Amino acid sequence: MLAAIKNNWFHAAAFLLLFATVILFSYTGNYFILVVPFAFLYALMLGVNWKMAWWIFLFTIPASVQINFSGDTMAITLPDEPMMWVFLLLFMLVWARNPTTIPKWWWKDSLVLVIVLQFIWTIIAVIFSKVLFFSIKFLIAKCWLMVCFFILPIWIFTEKKDYIKGFFLLLVPMLITIIVILIHHYYLNFKFDKVQKAMSGLYYNHVDYSTVISMFFPLLLIAWPLTRGKGILVRLLLLLIILIFIAGIFFSFARAAVVGIVFAIVIGLAMRMKIVNVIMPIFYALIIALVCYMVPNNKYLEFRPDYNNTYMHKNFADHIISTFKGKDMSSMERIYRWIAAVRMSQDRPITGYGPHAFYYFYKPYTVTSFQTYVSRNNEHSTTHNYFLYMLVEQGWPAMLLYALLIYMIFSKAQRIYHRFRDRFYRLVTIGLAMTIAVGFINNFFSELIETHKVAALFFIPLAMLVMLDKKSKEEEEEYKQIEGASARS
């Protein structure tokens, strides 16, 4: 009897909600009102099967779009951002009720330790921020990104089928966005200076777009050997998808995406050869050597551009050529910001200016001889380098922790790869490391880890590596026990 009453109340509430939605839409003409019934159903699903709700959330990420309000002063990404808010709230309630929800083995992982230290330092940087309101917003957004992409996957990716499901749930919508953008770009004659218009609101800009699809690309490469024996049609379909991704990356006209894929291949080969541990120290040493060469006696001033001959080019070939000649506007603008960031850090080296503060304070620290036509910075972009982004906004500790994290990721991935005997997990491990490698290079020329699409492809692979580390140790222990039993018998 009680169950029947509850069902009647539920049906009545659902009917009233649907009726009210139709009436409000008819009265206001606001299409966002039509989302209410779907949000209601999604909220119900969270209570019944939160894992299914997370899989739906994952599927929405590549196709989510940013909606601007109040003359572009406020924005929200739909539909994934409200979903992240709900997951953050749900996690906080569960964790407050039972702090042991997160297993002890997770806390003991070295990557988790570094990321926790990064988060703690972000809180410190926020406390000392010179733009407290914006820094608090940054911290809150960081919380829902970390919960959704780094913590919740602990309970999501437990079996091989989960890794396969996650792959397809990202691939399908991402592939659709690439095809849509390529079609739009086709009608713009694939012009270099029209690539931004071709985005159609699906990505913030062509850099965000190229970073996302280039980070996913290594997973397609490792899917190729996994399709052996699946039939010629499956392999042809995968080959077609790879070619579409290559077209998307090429026509995004982003140099960092191409360099990132090359670097990822180097990382993959180095992992197999057990020499990946020397890659990042060499990389860091080269950067330090370059800085030591440029900074003393203001050597970098010799490379200042000619303002009148530094501009945006009409085609990609000229763009590449001008980069090597030092006449490309975007490259010179990056140097302009990098110089300002380094000079800013000298005034607040420990805690930085605070997350999201660079734009409001960097202009007095710039060197005018490096100015370009876009130095007005109407889009409020930042340093165009994640290391300097950490340095200027959160200080030396944040930058050093990020440098340490990248080294530890590849080092751990190499150990996991050689510890596994299972071919599937070996290939997944190398694919995840290559994905992060592409992201690392892209973020060397940008700062996109805090954007939701790039964050998903950075932190979910990190979470997977943490879990694969545990799984590989368990597999190794099982094989040792089997071999020990065989030796005794």
Cα 159 vs. chain centroid, distance in angstroms? 23
Mean pLDDT of the chain: 85
Mean pLDDT in residue range 279-295: 88
Residues 6+ apart with CB under 8 A from 30: 24
* Nearest by Cα to 82 from 122, 36, 126: 36
| Candidate from 264-268, 393-397, 479-483 with smallest mean pLDDT | 479-483
Contact 388, 446 (CB under 8 A): no
**How sure is the predictor about 77, in pLDDT bands with cuts at 50, 70 and 90?**
confident
Contact 202, 177 (CB under 8 A): yes
Cα angle vertex 207, ends 203, 208, to 5°? 40
pLDDT above 90 for 397: yes
Query: Can you give the pTM of this predicted structure?
Result: 0.89
pLDDT above 80 for 326: no
Contact 319, 253 (CB under 8 A): yes
Query: Which of 45 and 186 is assigned the larger pLDDT?
Result: 186
Query: Which of 203 and 74 is assigned the larger pLDDT?
Result: 203
Helix/strand/coil (H/E/C) assignment for every residue in 262-329: HHHHHHHHHHHCCCHHHHHHHHHHHHHHHHHHHCHHHHHHHHCCCHHHCECCCCHHHHHHHHHHCCEH
Query: Which of 18 and 48 is assigned the larger pLDDT?
Result: 48
Mean pLDDT in residue range 297-316: 56
Question: Measured between alpha carbons, how far is 358 from 350 in angstroms, rounded to an integer?
Answer: 15
Output the six-digit token pair for 153: 């996957």
Question: What are residue 76's DSSP bridge partners?
Answer: 67
User: Which pLDDT belongs to residue 321?
Assistant: 44
- Give per-residue pLDDT as tens, 126-173: 999 999 999 999 999 999 999 999 999 999 999 999 999 999 999 999
- Give per-residue pLDDT as tens, 20-52: 555 554 555 555 555 666 666 777 777 778 999
User: Which pLDDT belongs to residue 161?
Assistant: 96
Contact 393, 355 (CB under 8 A): yes
* Nearest by Cα to 456 from 249, 176, 242, 147: 147
Output the six-digit token pair for 364: 């007095």
Question: Measured between alpha carbons, how far is 430 from 419 in angstroms, rounded to an integer?
Answer: 12
User: Which pLDDT belongs to residue 4?
Assistant: 44
Output the six-digit token pair for 192: 């270099």
**How sure is the predictor about 481, in pLDDT bands with cuts at 50, 70 and 90?**
confident
